[in-house]
């Protein structure tokens, strides 16, 4: 069977080059590469806004597989996706695409979105809109972890209860919810012995020293509060038989976070030697893993939903010490691949929600405020660090188990087939029918984005009608048409009008005698004919006759 896939393509969603390295960009970049490499595709389509995006898409795919058939289609050509059967959207905001599809045919193809950050107001609105937009049983939202799935279900449950109460209806449903993790190219994280020696010499890490590493965005606001980690590291370092190092590999966001991380380390873990490496540089990003003996990331922030970094660390053969939090709870098996440190959440949160919703707090203050109510077990973290520092055999065993686990479950070669199975499931549901809220004849398919000529019908004296009759204005013809068209401002949005040849055909017909609007409009493509007739009337090339 010929397998064709499609995705909504915008360069910002599928590339990290020249941009801050954030989770959704890394995930999008890796997903596209993996879909091309492991999807068994004969063709890949893209939904784009313009020619520049189309060219960027073709170049992007060609760099991965120069022989894969590609095509790009704008929103004006939904039929270009009928053979694909689905369009992947790199986020949870699927409602726009569902309304767009409704103008075409709701059973033409499925839509599949994926969660990234779910804590922003925009993300929550997008998830809530899934119950209002015309999503169908053959659409799906992929949640990347059990924690993300639980959050989405709670949000939809609350929104659904409100909608049922508000409108007195019994059935409120959204798309299918599926759980599929993010993936990594595990081979690209294989340890590099030469890089290990080079980086450890550069940083002054001795052969018997033990280095922990944090890789990612160094932000207390949107990633994690470093102070508890420092307290645990200091407890582990005191009395340790080996010198301990901590490598902070990433970039500070915002730059003021430099003091939070570096000054905080100096104050709270003076027994640990702390290094900062700017891992946004490609070679450093690839090599720095090899300098470490263990990975740690004690996230306490609701911004996180899956967490790629621990999976990347496991692929690099590192044991991990992470908080028992969000997606980490799925990816790391306690005592096998490393340690998951228990977390506790508590305190009020309604005030945070109110201030954020009212615009009193920015998103950064909202998530930072929420992290105040999250704590990890510092003694347990210190014990985990001490275990891995003192026991080289345990480090090696856990690192080997982690690498095998990452290859088996989180390599894209294992993840992409799960997406393909989901796409096949959606296709089967589509074939089974059961369309929800089909468009009704005479009604707007997209109520809040209607045809302006219909919704503003009370503005003009009258509207054009098929039976209206028109005649050629005195002196009208090709020369007059071209003279009008040369005047600045006369041909605004000319691509929406009939061609010059089609307009001349209208004038030629009227030279034979009066004609109806229906007859004249038929001389140009549907929709453009009537618009072209009004344009001729607008510039006194034709006249209405009673």
Which of 494, 493, 503 is CA-nearest to residue 525?
Answer: 503
CA distance 9 to 235: 48
Tokens of 507: 């004038």
Q: Are strands 273-277 and 244-252 parallel, antiparallel or unpaired?
A: parallel
Given a contact cutoff of 8 angstroms between Cβ atoms, the answer to whether 242 and 390 are in contact is: yes
Radius of gyration of the chain (CA): 30
Given a contact cutoff of 8 angstroms between Cβ atoms, the answer to whether 288 and 213 are in contact is: yes
CA distance 274 to 276: 7
User: How many beta carbons lie within 10 A of that of residue 52, not counting itself?
Assistant: 10
In degrees, rounded to 5, the angle at the alpha carbon of residue 358 between the alpha carbons of residues 354 and 364 is 80
The pLDDT score that the predictor gives to residue 212 is 98
**CB within 8 Å of 195: residues ≥ 6 apart:** 286, 287, 290, 291
CA distance 312 to 318: 9
- Print burial letters for 255-266: b (CB count within 10 Å at least 16), e (below 16): eebeebbbebbe
Tokens of 199: 């980086």
pLDDT in tens, the chain (546 residues): 789 999 999 988 887 766 566 667 788 899 999 999 999 999 999 999 999 999 999 999 999 999 999 999 999 999 999 999 999 999 999 999 999 999 999 999 999 999 999 999 999 999 999 999 999 999 999 999 999 999 999 999 999 999 999 999 888 899 999 999 999 999 999 999 999 999 999 999 999 999 999 999 999 999 999 999 999 999 999 989 999 999 999 999 999 999 999 999 999 999 999 999 998 888 898 999 999 999 999 999 999 999 999 999 999 999 999 999 999 999 999 999 999 999 999 989 999 999 999 999 999 999 999 999 999 999 999 999 999 999 999 999 999 999 999 999 999 999 999 999 999 999 999 999 999 999 999 999 999 999 999 999 999 999 999 999 999 999 999 999 999 999 999 998 999 999 999 999 999 999 999 999 999 999 999 989 999 999 999 999 999 998
**What is the maximum alpha-carbon separation in the chain?**
103
CA distance 227 to 262: 10
Lay out the sheet containing 4-8: strands in order across. 69-73, 43-47, 4-8, 86-88, 110-114, 140-143, 176-179
- 5, β-bridge pairs: 44
CA distance 311 to 316: 9
User: What structural domains and CATH numbers belong to the chain?
Assistant: 4-183+417-432 (3.40.50), 186-410 (3.40.50.2000), 464-545 (no CATH)
Identify the three-state secondary structure at position 150. helix
Identify the three-state secondary structure at position 26. helix
In degrees, rounded to 5, the angle at the alpha carbon of residue 61 between the alpha carbons of residues 60 and 64 is 100
Helix axes 308-315, 23-38, angle to 10 degrees: 50
CA distance 427 to 431: 6
Q: Are strands 4-8 and 43-47 parallel, antiparallel or unpaired?
A: parallel
- Print burial letters for 205-237: b (CB count within 10 Å at least 16), e (below 16): beeebbbbbbbbbbbbbbbbbbbbbbbbbbbbb
């Amino acid at each position: 069977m010929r397998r064709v896939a499609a995705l909504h393509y915008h360069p910002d969603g599928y590339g990290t080059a020249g941009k801050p390295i954030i989770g959704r960009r890394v995930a999008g970049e890796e997903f596209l590469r993996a879909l091309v490499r492991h999807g068994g595709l004969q063709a890949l389509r893209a939904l784009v806004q313009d020619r520049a995006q189309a060219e960027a898409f073709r170049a992007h795919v060609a760099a991965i597989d120069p022989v894969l058939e590609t095509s790009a289609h704008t929103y004006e050509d939904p039929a270009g996706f009928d053979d694909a059967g689905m369009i992947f959207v790199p986020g949870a905001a699927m409602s726009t695409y569902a309304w767009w599809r409704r103008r075409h045919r709701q059973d033409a193809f499925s839509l599949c979105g994926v969660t990234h950050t779910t804590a922003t107001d925009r993300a929550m609105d997008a998830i809530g809109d899934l119950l209002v937009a015309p999503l169908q049983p053959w659409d799906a939202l992929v949640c990347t972890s059990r924690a993300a799935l639980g959050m989405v279900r709670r949000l939809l449950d609350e929104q659904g209860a409100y909608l049922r109460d508000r409108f007195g209806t019994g059935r409120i449903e959204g798309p299918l919810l599926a759980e599929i993790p993010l993936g990594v190219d595990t081979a690209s994280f294989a340890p590099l012995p030469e890089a290990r020696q080079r980086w450890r010499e550069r940083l002054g890490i001795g052969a018997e020293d033990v280095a922990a590493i944090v890789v990612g965005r160094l932000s207390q606001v949107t990633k994690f509060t470093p102070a508890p980690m420092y307290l645990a590291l200091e407890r582990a370092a005191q009395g340790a038989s080996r010198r301990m190092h901590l490598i902070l590999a990433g970039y500070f966001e915002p730059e003021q976070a430099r003091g939070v991380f570096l000054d905080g380390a100096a104050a709270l873990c003076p027994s640990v030697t702390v290094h900062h490496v700017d891992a946004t540089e490609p070679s450093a990003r690839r090599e720095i893993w090899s300098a470490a003996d263990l990975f740690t990331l004690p996230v306490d922030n609701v911004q996180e939903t899956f967490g790629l970094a621990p999976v990347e660390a496991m692929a690099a053969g590192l044991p991990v010490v992470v908080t028992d939090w969000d997606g980490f709870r799925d990816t790391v098996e306690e005592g096998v691949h490393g340690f998951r440190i228990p977390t506790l959440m508590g305190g009020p949160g309604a005030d945070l929600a109110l201030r954020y919703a009212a615009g009193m707090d920015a998103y950064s203050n909202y998530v930072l405020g929420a992290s105040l109510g999250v704590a990890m077990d510092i003694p347990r973290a210190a014990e985990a660090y001490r275990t891995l520092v003192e026991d080289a055999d345990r480090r090696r065993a856990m690192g080997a188990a982690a690498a095998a686990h990452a290859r088996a479950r989180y390599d894209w070669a294992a993840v992409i087939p799960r997406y393909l199975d989901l796409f096949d499931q959606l296709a089967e549901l589509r074939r089974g029918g059961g369309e929800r809220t089909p468009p009704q004849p005479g009604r707007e398919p997209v109520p809040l984005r209607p045809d302006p000529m219909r919704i503003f019908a009370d503005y003009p004296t009258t509207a054009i009608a098929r039976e209206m009759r028109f005649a050629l204005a005195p002196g009208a013809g090709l020369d007059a048409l071209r003279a009008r068209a040369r005047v600045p401002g006369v041909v605004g949005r000319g691509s929406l009008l009939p061609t010059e040849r089609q307009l001349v055909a209208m004038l030629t017909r009227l030279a034979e005698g009066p004609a109806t609007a229906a007859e004249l409009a038929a001389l140009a493509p549907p929709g453009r004919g009537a618009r072209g007739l009004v344009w001729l009337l607008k510039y006194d090339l034709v006249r209405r006759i009673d």
